[in-house]
Structure 1
């Protein structure tokens, strides 16, 4: 039996006490390769923020295994990353070492080798000193995937990692996702491209603020379920009564 890495128990997440995800219960097994899909406004990104701990539940629980709680690698949407910050490709990749070295920890020879290997794995050798402000969208995403490699985390959360990047970059980065799955890491990705989901991700959670279906991708992404999800989001009332937050 697979070990559970993440468990949801009657989970409700939201902003200003208004639910964005609610009534979610279920488990993500260790080593899962799972897509989270749904219409715009379905709560997909909110769910990842709840898992990583930046958003506290309004009610219910998220339980993360103790052995991975402090070792979750999280890649937010590109829009949440400040590209104007004056930092080089090398330095942004090296940030993946912070969980081990701390903010002011030194980078040794072994660490430099790991950084070089990560840059090579994403095709950015020669870009080390380039400011991130000069990178294309695809190059920036390659650098962020290199940082994920350096983190060497057992759980990896990806929020729309292939949006607005070229086909070659998408293919190369999907190869890394498959590699992580082969290494028995738990990968959860918010995605819009259902063809990619069907081709690469064996498990899918379809949400529309509430769970619509969760399980084997082929069954989850039925025309009936997708229509139901769209209808549920369109029917959502943003002025519904606010939830009370758990005291815990």
Structure 2
């Protein structure tokens, strides 16, 4: 069980130090600096092209900064899990829902060790938690979009990471699934995990995410969601992404 740090005393889980991100001659994020405290729940928002998914890829180690540094607390560096966008996942291969969820334990078991009874019970418990009890034998490629997302959240439960990155976790899923998965995110937050989620629904962010990082190719605002998501900041982010002067 992850212990939530005392208010005001949380050390950095992840720190951006003048980070520039991009490929070749295209820069997606410029000169970003700031801190995700341990135990924080942060939404990453911004217009299309703002650099949100690029930032998640960099934090997860799938993209190296062009300049600057992303510092992850050494105690957490190997305790990070990422749920990428659904478009990046190939879930059409012939695998059962049970086996997909069990993949979350690979970091602990390795590729060759089989599941014991405790591990199997954990998979079944995760399936029940996300509302997929009885779906273990069903092929993943027969699940609906919402059911697949529930299964991927169950896989995160098996991973049991202290830092969790989610790139558009509620895209193309129904309202009931969204509400169930939001409740799970808040459970994880209550356990002191550090959560960073790329989102588009600003009403959801205001209601459920205490911290927000607003990007527009650079950091426009970072902190309390109510303060960051003001009209002037949103206006600036839109114009930065459109390449217009303000």
Find the partner of 1:231 among 221, 233, 239: 239
Q: Deviations over 1:188-216 (max 9, x none)?
A: 00000111100000000000110100010
Q: Which residue of 2 aligns with 1:179?
A: 187
Q: Which residue of 2 aligns with 1:60?
A: 68
Q: Deviations over 1:53-95 (max 9, x none)?
A: 0100100000001111111110000101112111110000000
Instruction: Give the superposed CA RMSD.
Output: 0.9
Find the partner of 1:134 among 111, 128, 142: 142
Q: Which residue of 2 aligns with 1:242?
A: none
Q: Which residue of 2 aligns with 1:89?
A: 97
Counting matched residue pairs gives 236
Q: Distance in 1 between matches of 2:19 and 2:25?
A: 13
Find the partner of 2:128 among 101, 120, 129: 120
TM-score, normalization: structure 2? Answer: 0.94
Q: Which residue of 1 aligns with 2:119?
A: 111
- Structure 1: runs of 5+ lacking an equivalent: 237-248
Q: Distance in 2 between matches of 1:54 and 1:71?
A: 15
Checking the alignment, whether the CA contact within 8 Å between 1:93 and 1:143 is kept in structure 2 is: yes
Find the partner of 1:212 among 220, 231, 235: 220
Checking the alignment, whether the CA contact within 8 Å between 1:205 and 1:214 is kept in structure 2 is: yes
Secondary structure at the aligned position of 2:177 is classed as helix
Secondary structure at the aligned position of 1:178 is classed as helix
Q: Deviations over 1:214-238 (max 9, x none)?
A: 01000100111111100000007xx
- How far residue 16 of structure 1 moved from its aligned partner, in angstroms, is 2.2
Q: Distance in 2 between matches of 1:107 and 1:15?
A: 40
- How far residue 104 of structure 1 moved from its aligned partner, in angstroms, is 1.3
TM-score, normalization: structure 1? Answer: 0.94
- How far residue 184 of structure 1 moved from its aligned partner, in angstroms, is 0.3
Tell me whether 1:20 sits opposite 2:16 in the alignment.
no
Q: Distance in 1 between matches of 2:243 and 2:220?
A: 14
After TM superposition, the runs of 4+ consecutive aligned structure 1 residues lying more than 4 A away are: none
Q: Distance in 1 between matches of 2:227 and 2:172?
A: 28
Q: Deviations over 1:118-152 (max 9, x none)?
A: 00100001110111111111000000000001111
- How far residue 17 of structure 1 moved from its aligned partner, in angstroms, is 4.4
